[in-house]
Structures are given as structure tokens and as C-alpha cells.
Structure 1
Amino acid sequence: MTIRDIAQEAGVSRATVSRYLNGGHWVSEQAAAKVQAVIDRTDYVANERARSLATGRSNSVAFLLGEPQELLFADPNFSTLLRAIADELGRKGMSLIMMTTDNQEENKRNLKFLRGGHVDGVLLVAWHYGVRKGLIHSLHAMDMPFVVAECPEVDSDSTSYVHVDDYHGAARATHYLLERGAKSVAMIAGPEGPTGALERVRGFEDAMRSRGQNPEWIERGDYSKASGYDAALRLLKRAPQVDGLFVASDLMAIGAMQALRSQGRDVPANVQVIGFDDQQLAQISEPPLTTLRQPFGEIGRKMVDQLIDLIHGGSPVGTILPLELVVRQTTR
């Protein structure tokens, strides 16, 4: 079946069928119903290669993970965001190409593939500052439409991004611990460099100072459960009086709670804990974890919408989304 065949069977013009297949703009409900009926009856599938040649677009976008491939499975945030993006692209009839960056050679191959015109745009996810900075510069240099899943430290005015309000989320979590009676609040932060990690630390520090307290007890991890465990042990050694703990990821919070229990500290009776992300493991941890919920579904939708707008000639925009404090049983 061709577009011409569909038009003939539906009794509409070829232009009407073309408009319907490309989003349905300026097509009446009656004409749309006729075209869809023929498509359903004939099981028509558009020839994407022919469409690509005609439009100069591939109808595909790349999910570029600027991290080693194993992190896609080790850190649930990556896979959750990937799923949200894939669902949104599927609703829009677009294909997704998954790309990871394990080393410099793979990074070069990825950039060469992107320069070849195989995708219309890129959704960039890279937590490490150096990697993200290099990829942003490379994508700008090849004039590739792209959206970053974090506020970029470079070219922020010319780069489209979707980010969560890490600063106010961290401040809210810190205030909540103090409001619930914690006298000595500490933080387990993420690695230095990423904008989000820096903003969470800044939110914690400002909230502590606003209550007349010195934010002196901060240890860092790499967002893994093991690093949260080790960081909690270091904190207890430095400040055994800690009775409130804000942790910059759910995985690290789970590890921290294990460390607290190993030292005879009950959660939340002795130490209240708040995590960050609201992954499924936060709901099934023992006890269930109070945490800040990242709206991954909305992040994915916003990234896709902003990328499509860029592909069609729109200007880059930055979006900041709020975080929700989800109260469970690790706080009193």
C-alpha cells in the first residue's frame, strides 16, 4: 500500500493522507476516520526510509548516556528516566536509539554516528561534569538539537534542559528533620561536580544556617548503596550525636540505614533519615523511606517535548520541576 492507494480507498486527497500521517493537522474528523479505517483494514505501515528521504528527518532520537553501560542497570534513576522517555516517544510515533559511553573510543564512535544524520536529536544524560561539558560542546558544534537532563554548567543560555529543584528540595528535607525534633542533622551528599549534587549541598547548608546551626557534618558518596554505608560510618565516627540524616539518593540512604543498624542505631527512634528520588526500593525498604520524589514521568515528557520543538526550529528553554516530600516511616 502507498499513500496514493490509501487516498483512493478513503476517497480523500493524497495531501490529506500525508497530513494525517504527519500529525493530523488540518484534517477533519470525518477524513481522519476514513483514512484510519483504511490503515486498520490494510495494516499499512509507513516507509520510514522514503519519508526520511523526502523530509530530511529520520523520525528517531538518541538517548545518549554519558556514563558506563553498567550504570544503566546499577542506578535505577537511569532506567526509570529511560522508560519514561521511551513511553513518551512511543506515544508520538518516534523511535529511540540507546547509546552509552564506556570510554573515549566509544565516545568518538557515538559522535561520529550522530554526525552521520541517523537521528533528528539527542536526549543527553550525563552526571559527571567533565563528560557532560564535552558532550554539550560537541553537540553544539555539529548543530544537533539536544536536551540535557540537568541544568548545564556551560552554554546554559543556548542549551535546552530539564532539571528538578534540588536546592529547595534539599532545604525542605532539612527543615523537616529539624521540625521533627532532630538536633544534630548531617548530610550524605553525592559526588562533587554535577549541578544537582552541588545544589543539594547548598540547600542543606542554607537551611541549617537559617536555623542557627552549623552545617559541618557532610560526607560524600557516589550514589551507590555501598558508598552510603561507608559515609554513614564516617559520620558516626566524627559525630556520634547525629540524630537526623539527609541523604542525596535512595540507594545511599538504604546503605546508610544498614550502617546505622550495624552500630545499634534505630531508625527513626535514634536517627531520622530522608532520601532522594523515591525509587521503588524506598517503598519496600525496612522501614519504608521518607524521601523526595523526582517526577521522572514529567521529566521524560518535558525532555521529549522540548527536543521536538527544537527539531522543528524552536528556541532552547530551561525547565525546573518541583520535588515532593513523601513521608514514610524513617521520620517521626
Structure 2
Amino acid sequence: MSTPAVAARPHRVAVLVLDGLIPFELGIPARILGGARDAYGERLYSVRTCAAVPGRIRTDADFTVNIEHGPEELATADTVVVPASHELGPVFEEGRLTAPLERAFSAIRPGTRMVSICTGSYVLAAAGLLDGRPATTHWKNVEHFQRLFPRVRVNADVLFVDDGDVLTSAGVASGIDLCLHLVRRDHGAAVANDVARGTVVPPHRDGGQAQYVRRPVPDTQLASTSAARAWALERLEQPLTLRELAERSSMSVRTFTRRFRDETGVSPGQWLVRQRVERARQLLESSELPVDRVAREAGFGTSASMRMHLQAVLGVSPTAYRRTFRTDE
């Protein structure tokens, strides 16, 4: 078994806050990234909060927050996170960053990973970082955002977009999903799952999931697909069919498919693939099972099928993923 290496220093994260900030989004990076630990209990991220002009910052609640650090924190950051603000005026003028924010952004080193939560995407777009790139924002702001920044390839239907060195999320809780995705991308599923358990949130909602689900809480007078999903999770290694899932919910295939998408935002087939990818990731990280056996245990049947799906989702082969994230029990 490989022994996890002790990092020379934690990954530095600077959280750049704006006037009119939304407190919930402000706390997400510190809670999720700040909660990630390595095998020795050491912090994997150092999270510092800063402002273009330090001092008292207004929120959309009945209190202010005092930000001690200024844009100097941006100069040493490996990742910069911009949470939401309910006021766009302090962010830009005529589609351009305000002078204080322009000065702050000039301190950011080339190659720094840039992340936005909710309307923080306006800041990245105004800085020109999203031109020609895919991005998302809160679904209520999509039309305004697209009019203001026509060069951005806006995807209105997803929780978050990972475009490598620039990542954007939709509103509120999707910021949690994106930060867990960063932990998973940087350190593997096991570390991300530990953070999720400590935060009492679902360990994984795929970025491609719809951000606005028509029936997130099933009508108590309508049958739900939740029992079928729970049943499937216990049998991912088996060749599950749509008809079997529908029968578990006492529905026709057509009704089940429609209800499933209403409740999860994705089709049953897409959901099964995502669950199997997560199972494969966990097995590759935590076991010494051969790749062929991992493929069977995760429900892909063959290593070639698993390799295709992992490459599509993670951009790496099973062997490369295991080499990166394999840890001792």
C-alpha cells in the first residue's frame, strides 16, 4: 500500500468578499475546504478571507462583517473564491470591474484557480475570465447575466461548471457542491466524503444535475422514486433495468421516467452511471481489487466500459485515478 505524502504546505485559498455579501455563501469555502484533512489530520487548505478594501462589509442580513485582510492575500493564493453579493453595483460599472476590484485582481498570479459561487460569476465575467468559456450562475440571473456578458457560454441548467482553472456554480447550496467537487478533484472521494459527513450534506451531487428541479420534495399524494433509488444503490453491481426500477415504484416505465427526472433532474440512466462512477472511485481509492473486479463491483461489467465512463467524467483512466488517490486504510 502507498503511504500518503505530507504536503509541504496547505493549498492557499483566498475568499474575496464584496459589499452586499450573502453570509451563507461566505461561510461555504471555510466550512468545506477548511474542513478537509489529510491522513494525519493536517489541514489540506488554508482559507483566508479578504476584501478589495478591508474593513466593514455590508451583508444582505441585519449585520455587517469586519474583514481584516486586503488584496495582498490574493497575491499568494492558489485558488481564489468569489462568493455571492445581492448588490451588483459595488461589483462593476457598465460591465467592468470597479477600480478597487481591478486593483485587487491585478494582484492575482497567472495560473491561479478562479472559483465563483452564485452571482460571484459576475465578478469573473467582468474581469474577462469567462469570455468564450462555459459558466453558470443562479438561474434567476441567467438572462441578465447573458445580456451583460454575451461572450460567456452560459449553461443555465447545471449546479456547477468545471472548466479546469475556472469554475462557477449556481446559487446557494450549489456552492457546497462545487467546493466538495474541488476537494474530490484535488484529494479524492474519500476525503470529500469525510468533509460531507462532518457537514451533514450529501457527499456528491454531480455538476450536470439540474439546478432547478420541478418537484424536489415529492407530493405526498404522489408515488416517489426514492425507494427505487435506495434499492438500486444496494445492487449497483447488478444489470439493473428501467423496467425493474419502475416496478419497485409500482409505476409504468413512462410514469417512472417522468417522475424520476422531476425528482432528480436527470434520467434514470444518467443517475445510475453517476452512482456507479462514485462506487468505482471509492473502490479504486480504498481497495486493492484489480481493475476488472472494480468494474464488476461498480456495475460496469467490463474494465473497458468503466474506463470509458471514468474518462468521460474524470478525464483520467482507472489506473491513473488509483495512482493519484490511493490511500492506506
TM-score category of the 2 structures, normalised to the smaller one:
0.3 to 0.5
Q: Given the two structures, how large is their TM-score scaled by the length of structure 1?
A: 0.32
Q: Name the structure, 1 or 2, with higher relative contact order (CA <8 Å, separation 6+).
A: 1
Q: Given the two structures, how large is their TM-score scaled by the length of structure 2?
A: 0.32
Larger gyration radius, structure 1 or structure 2: 1
